Amino acid sequence: MKNRNVKSSIKRIGYTLSLLSIGYILGISGSLVPQMTKAQPAVSAKDDAQVEITLSNESIKEIQAAHESLTQAMETLKLEGNYTSATEGVNSYLVLTGGGNAIEDLKQGTGIDPFTFAALYAGMATEEISDDLSWDQSDRLMYKNKIVRIFSIEKLKKRQLILDNLLTKKVAE
């Protein structure tokens, strides 16, 4: 009877060690690690051609006028040395909050404005920085091997205050 209990205990220990070994091997091999998936399918040129604009002509005219005004403001900020973008096109956030230097923000690694953040993820980086951008294993954008982050909440609030002050400031004509 005692001999049978010893054999049974040895079998249990053997099974336990086998299971632990199999689990360890599977764990270090990464064969059971969930694979990363993308939340949205890639957009193709064909998809872009099918985008339907359901806005009124008046809305479209106002958007076009706003874009023209933002472009003019961006050029003025550039001339004054208050605007450096890391993305193609007009960065409306930097323009409306009095300018900024998105490239310097990237280099510092402390956060970038929301528009730059979105535009970089959308593949709209300028040639100046595009070679320094990459993706990590978790599909996070990296600049010079540092994760690209958005401004801190405090900095976003400060920029909003700047916008509020700019909108209420009385300017001589």
Tens of pLDDT, residue by residue over 68-79, are: 999 999 999 999
Judge whether 34 lies within some domain: no
Q: CA–CA separation, 148 vs 146, rounded Å?
A: 6
Give the model confidence (pLDDT) of 30-72 as tens digits.
666 665 555 555 555 555 556 678 889 999 999 999 999 999 9
Taking Cα atoms as reference points, which of 45, 50, 119, 40 lies closest to residue 86?
A: 119
Type of residue numbered 164: D
Judge whether 37 lies within some domain: no
Judge whether 28 lies within some domain: no
**32 vs 130, higher pLDDT:** 130
- pTM (2 d.p.): 0.67
For residue 142, what are the domain limits?
Answer: 62-168
Judge whether 26 lies within some domain: no
Judge whether 84 lies within some domain: yes
Domain count, the chain: 1
Number of other CB atoms surrounding residue 137 within 10 Å: 6
Type of residue numbered 166: L
Taking Cα atoms as reference points, which of 145, 151, 117, 116 lies closest to residue 131?
A: 145
Mean confidence (pLDDT) of the chain: 86
Judge whether 118 lies within some domain: yes
Judge whether 91 lies within some domain: yes
Judge whether 51 lies within some domain: no
